């Protein structure tokens, strides 16, 4: 599958880069690209420091405007007014859109954003465009993210007085491997080299591990194991992690994540305030975009205020004859978003269950991310965890980026005389990986929450007599029964299976995730008897599927039906 | 094929010095370029000579030789307790502590850049030992199997099924690994030499010379 060619931005810095790299090791910076805000931090030799832009901001809005010939992002650009972001010229929520196909409900929900998100509903990349001089100019989430990252890179370079190349990026737990390749591509387009992609709550867990290690040092204690539960909810995603930490080692026991966040709260509220919002805005005319923008700003503002006061007055004139005048209180807000909060609760419960940890054994409950300021969110976390109070000592907006900066320093081989960088994260797989077998079912080979690196093997057999070929279709997902509900990573064919009655041949499939989180799939048909010539086995690096994975699965099914299916071999005891 | 006892400074685990010849005929000549390191954690009692023949020794050892990693074959014959360096009566706290200590040593994130693969394999083995022993139910089953002499209980069960697959897979692996082995040997020696005792260095040099002849 042909990759479009991209030119790496700012090649001009290369000579300078080579000069400096010989004198001192480059410390990788940590970047937290949020759905709504973004921040950058670096280990400054003694501690983690957040970098500020020219307007002295540590938190920068994640968006790109295509107003003029040269697009500009939220790092350098000064918005004259919030409404400018909502004029159609700005692309935001890149992190919600990246690597998703147009059948994804998240993409569908994004159609009410004040820029163009067009879907064909056939399982391909959605069409995204910004309004420039009354023309919808197409772009992609990767491109928008890359433009933004170029600005971040330049800003960090100025602050650190050196070119920046290596980064540790935080990502949502629910990101699949295909989405990770999109993030990596955006980074490559921006001239950044990704050392690690770290699930957000594991970055927070690393910061927690460091803090616990320091406390243990100060108390001259033995540093016994501590269990931390991390709940992280931002604008786009909600993640939970359970970590067991001792002596600077953060052992991730389980991860759970989903695509819910502040954006859902906002969209639910907008829909609540204006029930026919979607039909009203479907044409995306200039006046409709303006109306969405006005409603969005007013609703966002009201939600923010509800974190600090019991009720809020909303007065907004949408300009097309419809006006909203309403008093909104917390109870109504919580009722409208009941499902979102229930999902948050179930994520925590699921994560504790997967970690095999009783809630009583949790030492600290840590809530971070923008949504952790919402009283209902705080309450639900405390309730599920049966606590009176949350862990203090972390800035909810800075925890993830600080952890990423720590990982950046560790991964760059930097050591600290005080032992503050004697840290290690033992990661787990956030999603299960397996193949389609047993009649269209998803059979996980590497289960969710398996410690990485990992290598697991399973044996399958044929479903037809004298079946000589088998299709290995690899999926990744939360372990839904039906293979099609998971994300397709790739597929290939095993040929030369010895002719035999069904159920006799043995086909072994081995999945290997190496130290760099690269997934390889090995498969081979076993041969008995010395005179039989062995067929070469297969090694396939995944994901191999580029865009349009919805398409591929369907086409495969049409072309092959069940002729090349496999079933699991019952385990011998 | 011989193995050498090495002591790596900064690590308190000892490397064994068994000079045994492989008791199995291997389908291919072992790769002489790799002098495998012998890794082991303190062994409470000399049990494994009795256990070494349990299980599919042939296929396992053969693939290990293909990998040039006789050391790992031996490590695979260690019990999970031996792997973690704890007594069989060890408590859960001890298991957790031992696991975290070994993770700090063998997690690929902390490995020397040129030995990531080797560390990855070691870490996966430590992980398996930890996962089995930290789960009371699985630990009980493992203890029972061990008492019966079915030493490799968990990993072995999978191995019984997949030996041939593993062997086949190791074939393609040998192909590219033999290409890499010379490169690897150099960097590995370079890396290890700094940490080796004088005697070990001499033995290694002698071996290198005889290999090159």
Residue of B nearest to A521 (CA): B169
Q: What is the pLDDT of residue A117?
A: 92
| Mutation for A interface: B100, B108, B114, B121, most A CBs within 10 A | B100
pLDDT in tens, A513-531: 998 999 999 999 887 666 5
**Distance between CA atoms of A315 and A295, rounded to whole angstroms?**
10
Query: Nearest-CA distance from A221 to chain B in Å?
Result: 15
Q: How many CB atoms lie within 10 A of CB A56?
A: 6
Cis peptide before A538 (omega within 30 of 0): no
Chain A residues with beta carbon closer than 8 angstroms to that of B164: 526-527
Classify residue A314 by burial, with Cβ atoms within 10 Å: 0-12, 13-18, 19+: middle
Q: In degrees rounded to 5, what are phi and psi of residue B56?
A: -80, 70
Would you say residue A122 has pLDDT above 90? no
Higher-scoring residue by pLDDT: B39, A79: A79
- Provide the mean pLDDT of chain B: 60
Beta-strand ranges (E) seen in A429-537 are 432-437, 441-446, 454-462, 470-477, 487-494, 507-513, 519-525
Question: Cβ contact (<8 Å) for B158 and A457?
Answer: yes
Question: Cβ contact (<8 Å) for B165 and A457?
Answer: yes
- The stretches of A512-570 forming alpha helices (DSSP H) are 549-560
C-alpha neighbours within 13 Å on the C-beta side of residue B135: 13
Report CA torsion sign: A396, A399, A401, A402.
positive
Mean pLDDT of A100-127: 90
Range name among A54-68, A163-177, A194-208 with the lowest pLDDT average: A54-68
Tell which residue, A278, A53, A356, A88, has the closest CA to residue B138.
A356
Mean pLDDT of A23-32: 84
* Total residues found in chain A within this entry: 573
Q: How many CB atoms lie within 10 A of CB A184?
A: 16
Q: What is the pLDDT of residue B162?
A: 34
**Distance between CA atoms of B20 and B71, rounded to whole angstroms?**
12
Q: How many CB atoms lie within 10 A of CB A70?
A: 7
Query: Nearest-CA distance from B51 to chain A in Å?
Result: 20
**Distance between CA atoms of A453 and A573, rounded to whole angstroms?**
27
| Widest pairwise Cα distance in chain B | 53
**Distance between CA atoms of A565 and A469, rounded to whole angstroms?**
9
Chain B residues with beta carbon closer than 8 angstroms to that of A534: 168
**Distance between CA atoms of A513 and B120, rounded to whole angstroms?**
10
**Distance between CA atoms of A564 and B28, rounded to whole angstroms?**
34
Would you say residue B181 has pLDDT above 90? no
**Distance between CA atoms of B151 and B54, rounded to whole angstroms?**
7
Chain A residues with beta carbon closer than 8 angstroms to that of B161: 459, 569, 571-572
**Distance between CA atoms of A449 and A256, rounded to whole angstroms?**
9
Question: Cβ contact (<8 Å) for B108 and A453?
Answer: yes
Q: How many CB atoms lie within 10 A of CB A284?
A: 20
Q: Which pair of tokens denotes residue B160? A: 């019984």
**Distance between CA atoms of A222 and B93, rounded to whole angstroms?**
12
Range name among A197-201, A232-236, A460-464, B113-117 with the lowest pLDDT average: B113-117
Tell which residue, A413, A405, A408, A445, has the closest CA to residue A429.
A445
Q: What is the pLDDT of residue A24?
A: 58
Question: Cβ contact (<8 Å) for A249 and B103?
Answer: yes
Question: Cβ contact (<8 Å) for B162 and A457?
Answer: yes
Mean pLDDT of A484-489: 89
Would you list which residues of chain B are within 8 Å, Cβ to Cβ, of chain A?
93, 96-97, 99-101, 103-104, 107-111, 116-117, 119-120, 123-124, 127, 131, 157-158, 160-162, 164-166, 168-169, 171-172
Residue of A nearest to B160 (CA): A572
Domains of chain A plus CATH, in order, are 262-336 (3.90.640.10), 432-568 (2.60.34.10)
Chain A residues with beta carbon closer than 8 angstroms to that of B162: 457, 459, 508
Q: What is the pLDDT of residue A570?
A: 65
Cis peptide before A543 (omega within 30 of 0): yes
**A523 CB-near residues (< 8 Å, 6+ apart):** A472, A492, A494, A507, A508, A509, A510, A537, A538, A540
Mean pLDDT of A203-209: 97
pLDDT in tens, A390-419: 999 999 999 999 999 999 999 999 989 988
Tell which residue, A390, A369, A366, A355, has the closest CA to residue A206.
A366
Q: Which strands, in side-by-side order, build the sheet including A72-73? A: A72-73, A63-65, A90-92
Mean pLDDT of A144-165: 94
- Provide the mean pLDDT of chain A: 89
Chain B residues with beta carbon closer than 8 angstroms to that of A247: 100-101, 104
Question: Cβ contact (<8 Å) for A537 and B169?
Answer: yes
3-state secondary structure at position A290: helix
Mean pLDDT of A181-195: 96
| Mutation for B interface: A253, A506, A524, A570, most B CBs within 10 A | A524
| Mutation for B interface: A526, A528, A529, A534, most B CBs within 10 A | A526
Question: Cβ contact (<8 Å) for B103 and A455?
Answer: no
Q: Are A472 and A510 in contact (CB under 8 A)?
A: no
**Distance between CA atoms of A506 and B178, rounded to whole angstroms?**
28
Question: Cβ contact (<8 Å) for B169 and A251?
Answer: no
Q: How many CB atoms lie within 10 A of CB A285?
A: 12
Helix axes A375-384, A338-355, angle to 10 degrees: 30
Mean pLDDT of A14-43: 75
Strand duo A226-233 + A238-246: pairing: antiparallel
Question: Cβ contact (<8 Å) for B103 and A539?
Answer: no
Q: How many CB atoms lie within 10 A of CB A377?
A: 25
Question: Cβ contact (<8 Å) for A426 and B103?
Answer: yes
Higher-scoring residue by pLDDT: B170, A196: A196
First to last CA, chain B: 16
Strand duo A364-368 + A226-233: pairing: parallel
Range name among A279-283, A313-317, A526-530, B157-161 with the lowest pLDDT average: B157-161
Mean pLDDT of A343-359: 96
pLDDT in tens, B4-26: 433 333 333 333 333 333 344 43
Would you say residue A185 has pLDDT above 60? yes
Question: Cβ contact (<8 Å) for B165 and A506?
Answer: yes
Would you list which residues of chain A are within 8 Å, Cβ to Cβ, of chain B?
224-225, 244, 246-249, 251, 410-411, 424-426, 451, 453-455, 457, 459, 506, 508, 510, 514-515, 522, 524, 526-527, 534, 536-537, 539, 569, 571-573
Helix axes B70-77, B57-66, angle to 10 degrees: 140
Q: Which pair of tokens denotes residue B23? A: 């008791």
Closest by Cβ to B162, choosing from A508, A514, A534: A508
Q: What is the pLDDT of residue B51?
A: 36
Would you say residue B29 has pLDDT above 80? no
Name the band, by pLDDT with cuts 50, 70 and 90, for residue A282.
confident
Q: Rounded to 10 degrees, what is the CA torsion of A344, A350, A353, A358?
A: 10
């Amino acid at each position: 599958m042909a990759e479009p060619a991209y030119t790496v931005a700012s090649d001009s810095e290369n000579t300078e880069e080579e000069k400096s790299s010989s004198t001192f090791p480059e410390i990788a910076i940590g970047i937290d690209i949020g759905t709504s805000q973004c921040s950058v931090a670096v280990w400054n030799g003694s501690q983690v420091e957040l970098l500020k832009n020219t307007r002295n901001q540590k938190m920068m809005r994640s968006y790109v405007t295509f107003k003029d010939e040269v697009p500009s992002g939220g790092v350098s650009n000064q918005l004259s007014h919030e409404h400018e972001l909502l004029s159609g010229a700005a692309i935001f929520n890149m992190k919600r859109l990246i690597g998703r196909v147009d059948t994804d409900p998240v993409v569908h929900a994004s159609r009410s954003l004040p820029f163009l998100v067009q879907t064909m509903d056939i399982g391909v990349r959605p069409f995204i465009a910004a309004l420039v001089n009354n023309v919808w100019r197409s772009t992609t989430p990767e491109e928008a993210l890359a433009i933004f990252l170029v600005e971040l890179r330049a800003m960090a370079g100025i602050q650190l007085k050196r070119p920046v190349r290596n980064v540790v990026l935080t990502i949502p737990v629910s990101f699949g491997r295909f989405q990770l390749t999109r993030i990596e591509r955006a980074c490559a387009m921006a001239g950044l080299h990704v050392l690690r992609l770290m699930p957000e709550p594991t970055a927070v867990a690393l910061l927690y591990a460091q803090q616990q290690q320091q406390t243990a040092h100060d108390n001259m204690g033995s540093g016994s194991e501590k269990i931390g539960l991390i709940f992280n909810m931002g604008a786009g995603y909600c993640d939970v992690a359970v970590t067991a930490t001792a002596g600077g080692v953060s052992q991730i026991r389980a991860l759970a994540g989903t695509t819910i966040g502040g954006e859902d709260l906002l969209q639910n509220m907008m829909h609540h305030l204006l029930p026919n919002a979607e039909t009203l805005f479907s044409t995306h005319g200039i006046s409709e975009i303006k109306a969405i923008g006005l409603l969005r700003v007013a609703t966002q503002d009201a939600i923010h205020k509800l974190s600090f006061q019991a009720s809020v007055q909303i007065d907004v004139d949408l300009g097309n004859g419809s006006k909203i005048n309403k008093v909104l209180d917390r109870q109504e807000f919580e009722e409208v978003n009941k499902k979102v909060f229930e999902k948050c609760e179930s994520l925590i419960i699921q994560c504790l269950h997967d970690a095999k940890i009783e809630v009583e054994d949790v030492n600290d409950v840590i809530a971070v991310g923008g949504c952790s300021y919402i009283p209902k969110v705080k309450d639900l976390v405390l309730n599920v965890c049966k606590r009176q109070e949350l862990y203090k000592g972390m800035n909810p907006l800075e925890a993830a980026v600080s952890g990423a900066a720590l990982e950046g320093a560790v991964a760059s081989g930097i050591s600290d005389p005080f032992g503050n960088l004697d840290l290690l994260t033992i990661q787990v797989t956030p999603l299960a990986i397996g193949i389609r077998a047993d009649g269209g079912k998803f059979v996980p080979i590497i289960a969710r929450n398996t410690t990485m690196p990992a290598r697991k093997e399973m044996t399958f057999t044929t479903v037809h007599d004298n079946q000589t070929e088998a299709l290995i279709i690899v999926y990744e997902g939360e372990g839904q029964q039906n293979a099609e509900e998971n994300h397709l990573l790739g597929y290939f064919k095993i040929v030369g299976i010895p002719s035999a009655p069904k159920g006799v041949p043995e086909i072994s499939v081995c999945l290997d995730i190496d130290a760099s989180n690269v997934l390889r799939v090995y498969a081979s048909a076993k041969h008995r008897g010395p005179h039989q010539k062995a067929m070469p086995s297969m090694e396939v690096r995944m994901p191999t599927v580029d865009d349009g994975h919805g398409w591929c699965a369907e086409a495969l099914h049409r072309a092959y039906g069940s002729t090349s299916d496999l079933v699991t071999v019952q385990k011998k005891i | 094929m011989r193995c050498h006892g090495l002591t790596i400074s900064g690590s308190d685990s000892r490397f064994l010095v068994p000079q045994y010849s492989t008791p199995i005929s291997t389908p291919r000549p072992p790769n002489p370029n790799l002098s495998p390191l012998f890794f082991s954690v303190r062994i409470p009692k000399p049990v494994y000579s009795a256990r070494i023949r349990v299980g599919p020794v042939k296929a396992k050892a053969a693939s290990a030789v293909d990998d040039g990693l006789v050391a790992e074959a031996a490590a695979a014959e260690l019990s999970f307790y031996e792997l973690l360096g704890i007594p069989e009566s060890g408590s859960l706290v001890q298991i957790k502590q031992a696991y975290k200590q070994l993770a700090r040593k063998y997690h690929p994130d902390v490995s020397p850049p040129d030995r990531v693969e080797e560390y990855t394999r070691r870490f996966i083995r430590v992980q398996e030992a930890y996962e089995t022993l930290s789960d009371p139910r699985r630990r009980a089953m493992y203890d029972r199997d061990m008492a019966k002499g079915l030493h490799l209980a968990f990993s072995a069960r999978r191995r019984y099924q997949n030996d041939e697959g593993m062997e086949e897979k190791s074939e393609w692996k040998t192909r590219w690994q033999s290409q890499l082995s010379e490169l690897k040997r150099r960097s590995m020696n370079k890396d290890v030499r700094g940490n080796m005792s004088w005697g070990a260095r001499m033995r290694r040099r002698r071996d290198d010379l005889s290999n090159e002849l």
